[in-house]
Amino acid sequence: MRKARVIAAKESLVTVETNGDPIVKNEVGYIQLEREKLKAEVLRVRGNTADMQVFEDTRGVKIGDEVELTGEMLSAELGPGLLGSVFDGLQNPLQRLADEHGFFLPRGVYPDPLDRDRRWEFKPEVSVGDRVVAGAVLGHVDEGIIRHRVMVPFREVEAMEVVEVMEGSYRVDEVVVRLRRGDGSLLELDMIRRWPVRQALPQKMFQKRYSERLYPSEPLTTTIRIIDTFFPMARGGTGCIPGPFGAGKTVLQSLVARYSTVDVVIIVACGERAGEVVETIHEFPNTKDPRTGGSLMDRTIIVCNTSSMPVAARESSIYTGVTLGEYYRQMGLDVLLIADSTSRWAQAMRETSGRMEEIPGEEAFPAYLDSSIKNLYERAGVLRNSVGEIGSLTMIGTVSPAGGNFEEPVTQATLGTVKDFLGLSYDRAYKRFYPAIDPLISWSRYLEQLAPWYSEHLSHEWVSEVQAFTELLHQGDSIYQMMQVTGEEGITMDDFVMWQKATLLDMVYLQQDAFDKVDVSVSRERQVKSFQFLRELINSAYDFSTKQEVREYFTKLTGLYKNWNYSAEGTDAYQKYFREMQDLARENYLVQRDPHMGEDALLGEQAIGESGSE
Q: Please confirm whether the linkage preceding 169 is cis (ω < 30° from 0).
A: no
Instruction: Give the Cα separation of 499 and 448 in Å (integer).
Output: 27
The predicted pLDDT at position 308 comes to 66
pLDDT band at residue 614, thresholds of 50, 70 and 90?
A: very low
Q: Is the pLDDT of residue 33 over 50?
A: yes
The predicted pLDDT at position 1 comes to 75
Instruction: Give the Cα separation of 289 and 253 in Å (integer).
Output: 15
pLDDT band at residue 5, thresholds of 50, 70 and 90?
A: very high
The predicted pLDDT at position 276 comes to 73
pLDDT band at residue 307, thresholds of 50, 70 and 90?
A: low
What class, spelled out in words, does domain 462-608 have in CATH? mainly alpha
Angle at CA of residue 384, ends 381 and 386, nearest 5°? 140
The predicted pLDDT at position 604 comes to 56
Q: Is the pLDDT of residue 598 over 90?
A: no
Mean pLDDT of 294-320: 85
Q: Is the pLDDT of residue 613 over 60?
A: no
Phi-psi region of 364 (alpha: psi -120 to 50; beta: other; left: phi over 0): left
Give the fold, CATH level 3, of 219-440. Answer: Rossmann fold (3.40.50)
Instruction: Give the Cα separation of 17 and 520 in Å (integer).
Output: 58
Backbone angles phi, psi at 111, to 5 degrees: -70, 165
Chain Cα centroid distance, residue 6 = 39
Backbone angles phi, psi at 506, to 5 degrees: -65, -45
Count CB neighbours of 390 within 10 A: 18
Burial class (CB in 10 A: 0-12, 13-18, 19+), 228: buried
> What CATH code is assigned to 2-73?
2.40.10.170
3-state secondary structure of 341: coil
Does the annotation place 246 within a ligand binding site?
yes
Instruction: Lay out the sheet containing 131-132: strands in order across.
Output: 131-132, 160-165, 177-180, 186-189
Does the annotation place 247 within a ligand binding site?
yes
Sign of CA dihedral 94, 99, 103, 105: negative
| Closest-CA residue to 87 (of 251, 270, 249) | 270
The predicted pLDDT at position 314 comes to 80
Q: Is the pLDDT of residue 545 over 80?
A: yes
Mean pLDDT of 188-199: 96
Tens-digit pLDDT profile for residues 501-515:
999 999 999 999 999
Mean pLDDT of 532-539: 94
Sign of CA dihedral 259, 260, 264, 268: negative
Q: Do residues 66 and 40 lie in contact, with contact meaning Cβ atoms separated by under 8 Å?
A: no
Instruction: Please state which of the ranges 201-210, 284-293, 410-419, 440-449 shows the lowest mean pLDDT.
Output: 201-210
As separate numbers, helices (DSSP H) first and strands (DSSP E) second, the chain gives 17, 28
Q: Is the pLDDT of residue 81 over 50?
A: yes
The predicted pLDDT at position 592 comes to 46
Q: Is the pLDDT of residue 601 over 90?
A: no
What class, spelled out in words, does domain 117-191 have in CATH? mainly beta
Q: Do residues 317 and 92 lie in contact, with contact meaning Cβ atoms separated by under 8 Å?
A: no
Does the annotation place 244 within a ligand binding site?
yes
* Mean of pLDDT over the chain: 90
Q: Is the pLDDT of residue 127 over 70?
A: yes
Provide the CB-side half-sphere exposure for 181 (13 A, CA). 11
Q: Is the pLDDT of residue 318 over 90?
A: yes
Instruction: Please state which of the ranges 248-262, 266-280, 445-459 shows the lowest mean pLDDT.
Output: 266-280
Helix (H) / strand (E) element for 495: namely helix 493-505
Mean pLDDT of 215-236: 97
3-state helix, strand, coil in the chain (%, to 5): 35, 25, 40
Domain coordinates of the chain in residue numbers?
2-73, 117-191, 219-440, 462-608
Does the annotation place 313 within a ligand binding site?
no
pLDDT band at residue 124, thresholds of 50, 70 and 90?
A: very high
Query: Which regions of 425-516 does DSSP assign to beta strands (E)?
Result: 443-444
Does the annotation place 366 within a ligand binding site?
no
Chain Cα centroid distance, residue 469 = 27
The predicted pLDDT at position 206 comes to 45
The predicted pLDDT at position 607 comes to 47
pLDDT band at residue 588, thresholds of 50, 70 and 90?
A: confident
Q: Is the pLDDT of residue 155 over 90?
A: no
Q: Do residues 581 and 564 lie in contact, with contact meaning Cβ atoms separated by under 8 Å?
A: yes
Provide the CB-side half-sphere exposure for 98 (13 A, CA). 8
Q: Is the pLDDT of residue 63 over 50?
A: yes
Q: Please confirm whether the linkage preceding 106 is cis (ω < 30° from 0).
A: no
Mean pLDDT of 383-400: 91
Q: From residue 14, give the alpha-carbon distance in Å to each of 197, 325, 346.
A: 22, 31, 21
Q: Do residues 52 and 41 lie in contact, with contact meaning Cβ atoms separated by under 8 Å?
A: yes
3-state secondary structure of 469: helix
The predicted pLDDT at position 204 comes to 57
Count CB neighbours of 284 within 10 A: 23
The single-letter code of the amino acid at 351 is: E
Instruction: Give the Cα separation of 294 and 482 in Å (integer).
Output: 52
Backbone angles phi, psi at 132, to 5 degrees: -130, 155
Backbone angles phi, psi at 180, to 5 degrees: -115, 125
Q: Please confirm whether the linkage preceding 341 is cis (ω < 30° from 0).
A: yes
Phi-psi region of 418 (alpha: psi -120 to 50; beta: other; left: phi over 0): beta
The predicted pLDDT at position 38 comes to 95
The single-letter code of the amino acid at 278 is: V
